């Protein structure tokens, strides 16, 4: 099992928070920025996203339906996001779960516009759910998989505009078989109701992966994660999660920014040169995971030490013999 060293981290989960996390599969809410600060930061960052010269993925084949996978991993070219994914308030909490040596292997934006469907209930273990090819592979000795997902609210997230939902305690049992592979059909987007609620999965039907085709999530146990701009929550990707539809009662979109983390022992995109998802395709030629905590003792993943603009990533590590935490430029 994992060997976290939470006692040496300034912003680690407390023993009580960690025990609660292992029971529920998620922890938070935590405040990283005050709401007005987050709003100002987003107004500054948003125009930078339209400048794609240094983005690791280009848009030629990346766009399909309402999804553009070329917007993945913008922490590899936008300075604010490069710093943001490894803020100490995030890094220490993730390390208290995964151990001291951690990679950020993906980041994504999750916008939800007025009238858009909710995201269907799902779990992700190795992220083979779209192509049938695992995107992350844990060592065989580990009895658990998945990734730690840190979901940050860049705008307000409410029940009316599509906040997250969790079913606590579902992270230790997989109800879906990702090796089955789903079938992409963009005509499904915003057109399907499930149990009276407009829900989908970006052109896929996640029910195709159910191990038991007659099983249904127990939504009576679901909790809604209402968040203010600047707050974040972290959870296992194997936790049953979904989102509400955007009711359209406001013209403003809901925006979440997600970063995903694994220990350095995990293989990322093994034997893959391309990423295929949601009807789009991008090359992994310029991709690299970012070591933000500890050391990369396995050296079996492509590592990015700088953004595509030349900004160095900081690695946070503990000098155990001195009981000191420091940030080092790699």
What range defines the domain where residue 19 resides?
6-329
Residue 52 is assigned to a structural domain of this protein: yes
Domain count of the fold of the chain: 1
The pLDDT value recorded for residue 5 is: 43
Instruction: Retrieve residue 88's tokens.
Output: 């100490």
The radius of gyration computed from the CA coordinates of the chain, to the nearest angstrom, equals 19
Do 105 and 262 touch, CB atoms closer than 8 A? yes
Whether 234 shows a pLDDT value over 80: the answer reads yes
**Cα separation of 43 and 154, whole Å?**
10
Across residues 288-312, what is the average pLDDT?
95
Residue 276, classed as helix, strand or coil, is: strand
Whether 316 shows a pLDDT value over 50: the answer reads yes
Identify the CATH number of the domain in which residue 170 sits.
Answer: 2.60.120.620
Across residues 182-194, what is the average pLDDT?
85
Residue 152 is assigned to a structural domain of this protein: yes
Instruction: Retrieve residue 162's tokens.
Output: 């599509």
Residue 144, classed as helix, strand or coil, is: coil
Instruction: Tell me the longest C-alpha to C-alpha distance in the chain.
Output: 59
Residue 177 is assigned to a structural domain of this protein: yes
Closest alpha carbon to 146 in 235, 216, 62, 80:
235
Phi/psi of residue 137, each to 5°?
-135, 115
First to last CA, the chain: 28
Residue 1 is assigned to a structural domain of this protein: no
Per-residue pLDDT tens over the stretch 152-176? 999 999 999 999 999 999 999 999 9
The pLDDT value recorded for residue 327 is: 59
CA 92 to chain centre: 17
Residue 238 is assigned to a structural domain of this protein: yes
Residue 46 is assigned to a structural domain of this protein: yes
**Residue whose token pair is 């192509």:** 131
**Cα separation of 28 and 168, whole Å?**
13
- Model's pTM, two decimal places? 0.91
Residue 144 is assigned to a structural domain of this protein: yes
Residue 257 is assigned to a structural domain of this protein: yes
Lowest pLDDT segment from 4-18, 62-76, 271-285:
4-18
Q: Report which secondary-structure segment, H or E, holds 31.
A: strand 26-31
Per-residue pLDDT tens over the stretch 22-51? 999 999 899 999 999 999 999 999 999 999
**Cα separation of 294 and 325, whole Å?**
10
Question: How would residue 64 be classed by pLDDT, with cut points 50, 70 and 90?
Answer: low
């Amino acid at each position: 099992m994992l060997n976290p060293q939470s006692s040496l981290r300034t912003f680690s989960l407390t023993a009580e928070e960690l025990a609660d996390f292992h029971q529920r599969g998620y922890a938070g809410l935590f405040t990283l920025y005050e709401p007005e600060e987050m709003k100002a930061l987003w107004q500054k960052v948003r125009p930078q996203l339209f400048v794609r010269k240094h983005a690791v993925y280009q848009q030629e084949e990346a766009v399909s339906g309402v999804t553009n996978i070329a917007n993945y991993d913008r922490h590899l070219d936008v300075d604010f996001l490069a710093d943001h994914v490894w803020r100490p308030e995030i890094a220490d909490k993730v390390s208290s779960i995964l151990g001291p040596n951690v990679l950020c292997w993906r980041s994504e934006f999750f916008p939800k516009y007025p009238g858009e469907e909710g995201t269907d209930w799902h779990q992700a273990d190795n992220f083979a759910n779209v192509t049938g090819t695992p995107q992350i592979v844990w060592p065989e000795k580990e009895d658990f998989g998945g990734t730690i997902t840190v979901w940050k609210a860049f705008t307000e997230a409410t029940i009316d505009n599509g906040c997250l939902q969790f079913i606590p305690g579902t992270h230790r049992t997989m109800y879906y078989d990702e090796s089955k592979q789903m079938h992409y059909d963009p005509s499904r987007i915003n057109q399907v109701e499930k149990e009276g609620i407009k829900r989908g999965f970006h052109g896929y039907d996640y029910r195709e992966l159910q191990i038991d085709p007659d099983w249904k999530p127990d939504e009576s146990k679901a909790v809604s994660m209402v968040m203010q701009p600047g707050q974040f929550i972290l959870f296992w990707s194997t936790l049953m999660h979904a989102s509400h539809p955007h009711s359209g009662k406001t013209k403003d979109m809901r925006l979440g920014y997600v970063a995903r983390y694994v220990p350095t022992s995990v293989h990322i995109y093994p034997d893959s040169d391309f990423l295929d998802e949601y009807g789009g395709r991008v090359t992994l030629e310029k991709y690299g995971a970012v070591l933000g905590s500890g050391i990369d003792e396995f050296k079996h993943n492509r590592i990015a030490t700088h953004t595509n603009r030349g900004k160095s990533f900081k690695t946070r590590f503990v000098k155990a013999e001195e009981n000191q935490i420091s940030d080092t430029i790699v």
